[in-house]
Amino acid sequence: MTRDLTLHINLDAIQHNYRILNKQAPDARIAAAVKADAYGIGLTQVAPALYASGCREFFVAQIGEAITLRSQALKNEKDIKIYALNGISSKNDIKRFIDYDIAPVLNSLDQIKLWQAAAKTAGTRLPALIHFDTGMKRLGLSESETQWALQTPNAFDGLDIISIITHPASADTPDSQQTEKQFSQFMSISAQFPDIKVSFCNSAAVFLKPNYHLDLIRPGIALYGGNPIPERQNVMQPVVSMTAPVLQIRQVKAGESVGYGASYVCQADSTLATIGIGYADGLPRSISNKGRFYFRGQACPIRGRVSMDLTMIDISEITNPPKPGDHIEILGENQSVDHLATDAGTISYEVLTMLGKQVQKCYSK
């Protein structure tokens, strides 16, 4: 990275959030979601911190992430279990799943058949999780596939089923009736698997009802400081902070426009600061003319469109305003990742993964 931008990540805060989740669901095991490079935070740093907190089970999206987790992030730890949510894409995946001891989450009858064939070839039962779609309409056995599987005696032959799972679609909206409907449907399915562990909760569902916790919870965004239920006060500890430098100060007269497309016109004489961060650094362009940064606790509204590596802010009302070389808070004490995401019309997941992919990261405890 050549940009003078750093995403600061507090690993102690991640461990603190793990303990909050453990306290919230004391009778359930925690399997941390560390897909997408641990939501942009950094898999090779985050996974050891979670392991040190007691986490022994991890969810990733696909086999490549699982191999990185097994062979790099936690290469010396022999007691971890890794589950790949996207399952098996082709026969070419099978050897890698077996060689690296990764359990696929099987999402369709076709994936189940592939894994059963691999088990037959290996001459042993192979570990897997079975995903039943109860309303997300994304991954998992469809309603018709579920009915067929439950009515077919040998549907899961050759599989060592670690757990069955489903994914709540609306748990971050507490008033939604969909979550309870999905849970009820999932419990009906789980009754057909009396000796198999079950998993329902993402981050949000953990904070809805204790009976949702079941055997295993799968938190993601909550570990990284995001608010699991936006309508409620965030009980998680902030994990990330970020500043960007002031590059230039200029005076703009009333009636003059700012930035590309003249999308903002100053209503009064103003003092603007140009900040060295833009959409190439992962800052959402949709925050143009809507969001704010902070200087010494004082809000500085964004003026004009966010450009590739520059953003303009209004410092007219700031006491002891910044000078070139001073740093402006993008994320931190005054602005959480959720607040920035709300201004940008998106979600904290997207902000973290965008920023984490583009800028250098610095870890502290």
Distance, CA of 47 to CA of 320 (rounded, Å): 42
Active site residue 23: no
Active site residue 290: no
Three-class SS of residue 218? coil
Closest CA to 97 of 133, 51, 129: 129
Distance, CA of 253 to CA of 244 (rounded, Å): 25
Three-class SS of residue 132? strand
Closest CA to 190 of 210, 166, 169, 208: 166
Set 75, 95, 113, 260: catalytic member: 260
Three-class SS of residue 36? helix
Distance, CA of 296 to CA of 310 (rounded, Å): 20
Closest CA to 236 of 246, 254, 223: 223
In angstroms, the Cα distances linking 32 to 188, 217, 277 are 26, 8, 31
In angstroms, the Cα distances linking 241 to 9, 43, 337 are 7, 18, 9
Set 35, 264, 279, 361: catalytic member: 35
Give the strand pairing for 257-258 and 264-265.
antiparallel
Query: CB neighbours (10 Å) of residue 200?
Result: 28
What lies within 8 Å, CB to CB, of 237 at 6+ separation is: 10, 13, 16, 17, 20, 225
Distance, CA of 60 to CA of 37 (rounded, Å): 9
Q: Are 357 and 2 in contact (CB under 8 A)?
A: no
What lies within 8 Å, CB to CB, of 324 at 6+ separation is: 245, 246, 247, 248, 249
Distance, CA of 317 to CA of 270 (rounded, Å): 9
Active site residues: 35, 260
